[in-house]
Amino acid sequence: MTFTYGAYTACLQDRTLEEALDVLAAAGLTGAEINTGGFIPAPHANVDALLGGEQARREFLRVFEDRGMALTGLTVSGNPLSPLPTEGIGHAQDLRRTIELAGKIGVRDVVAMSGTPGTDPGARYPAWIVNPWNGIDLEILQYQWSVAVPLWREIDALARQHDVQIAFEMHPRNLVFSPPTFEQFLDRVEPTNIGVNLDPSHLFWQQMEPIDCIERLGTRITHVHAKDTAVLPGAATRGVLDTAFDPVPEDPAQRTPTGIGHYCSTWPEDPAWRFVALGEGHDVEYWTRFLTALAAVNPDLHVNIEHEDAAFGQVEGLERGARTLLEAAERAQA
């Protein structure tokens, strides 16, 4: 097993790239994943400058080399299929530019989302179809796939041209949010350079078992996010598709960040689930089995902590996650 263990640096947006890498190194991690567009800004990578000159790219990579850190992924999670003028076209362009940049700096993995179109050509907002047991929703899905397939065939060809592997995060509110929907994507698009970013937090949220998903997806898994979810007692009466949320709090101190400049709606008092620091939802023994299952299908993966637990500070959450992940890695190697 030759995994690289690192973290996604978006949670350290208030630090310079150098400072963020120092935090990761101090936690015992050896890899870093950097945001380059999509829903949140890119504080640790000036994409324009990096695309514009070889010198800028050399200086950027030297920051990692000087700290003994590997650059293990570029993330551009957005909605490239959205009808919203603030999302679709811009996010698709961010994705194209990220693929080009990854090719120029020798980064294999680009993390993305499959996206969600609207319901029809005149739609103003994206619409996630969750359970199309009636005919109307199936008609919407047929339209959405008709939008998605041409774009993703184009993007797949671009990734192939630059020798880059796109890894879809199977995230709710996207066309691809589970192993079966990824398999539908495979059948429709027939990609050569698009696989899966195995993020267990979104699978736990949907009441899936990530280890079973690993076994089903197999070698289609090309990247991993180490992120945890706790399913809470509220799920007994709310279910995990709960809509009882309120707007983002007026008081900034009460807000839960989801990225740079983005915040969660206000959660119910007894929520069905929450994202938690790695180890707070599932113990080291579970993550040992998780890593062992991954190694069985792909022994050469980058595994990056994604910290989104508002109960812990940026550094504290990363450190807690790193302790859990590295202990699980040690046990998996034994």
CATH number at residue 143: 3.20.20.150
Nearest to 242 by CA among 261, 208, 269: 269
Residues 6+ apart with CB under 8 A from 327: 284
Count of other CB atoms within 10 angstroms of residue 260? 15
Per-residue pLDDT of the chain (334 residues; tens, 9 = 90+): 689 999 999 999 889 999 999 999 999 999 999 999 999 989 999 999 999 999 999 999 999 999 999 999 999 999 999 999 999 999 999 999 999 999 999 999 999 999 999 999 999 999 999 888 888 999 999 999 999 999 999 999 999 999 999 999 999 999 999 999 999 999 999 999 999 999 999 999 999 999 999 999 999 999 999 999 999 999 999 998 888 887 888 887 777 666 566 677 777 888 999 999 999 999 999 999 999 999 999 999 999 999 988 888 889 999 999 999 999 999 999 7
Question: Is residue 321 in a domain?
Answer: yes
Write out the residue range of the structural domain in which residue 227 sits: 4-232+276-333
Indicate whether 27 belongs to any domain.
Answer: yes
Which residues, in sequence order, are CB contacts of 177 under 8 Å at separation 6+?
Answer: 170, 171, 202, 206
Residue 251 lies in a domain: no
Identify whether 262 is part of a domain. Answer: no
Give 253: exposed, middle or buried? Use CB within 10 Å, 0-12, 13-18, 19+: exposed
Select from 5, 170, 153 the least CA-distant residue to 77. 170
Q: How many domains does the chain have?
A: 1
Characterize 84-98 residue by residue with b for buried, 16 or more Cβ atoms within 10 angstroms of its Cβ, and e for exposed. Answer: eeebbebbbebbbbb
> CA-CA distances (angstroms) from residue 132 to 79, 82, 113, 115, 146?
21, 20, 21, 18, 16
Residues 6+ apart with CB under 8 A from 332: 1, 288, 291, 292, 295
For tokens 């790219």, name the residue. 57
Does residue 165 sit within a domain? yes
pTM: 0.95
Residue 44 within any structural domain of the chain: yes
How many angstroms separate the Cα of 321 from the Cα of each of 105, 307, 327? 28, 8, 10
Residue 171 is assigned to a structural domain of this protein: yes
What distance in Å separates the CA atoms of residue 70 and residue 279, rounded to the nearest whole number? 24
For residue 252, being part of any structural domain is answered with no
* Number of neighbouring beta carbons within 10 Å of residue 211: 16
d(CA 279, CA 285): 10
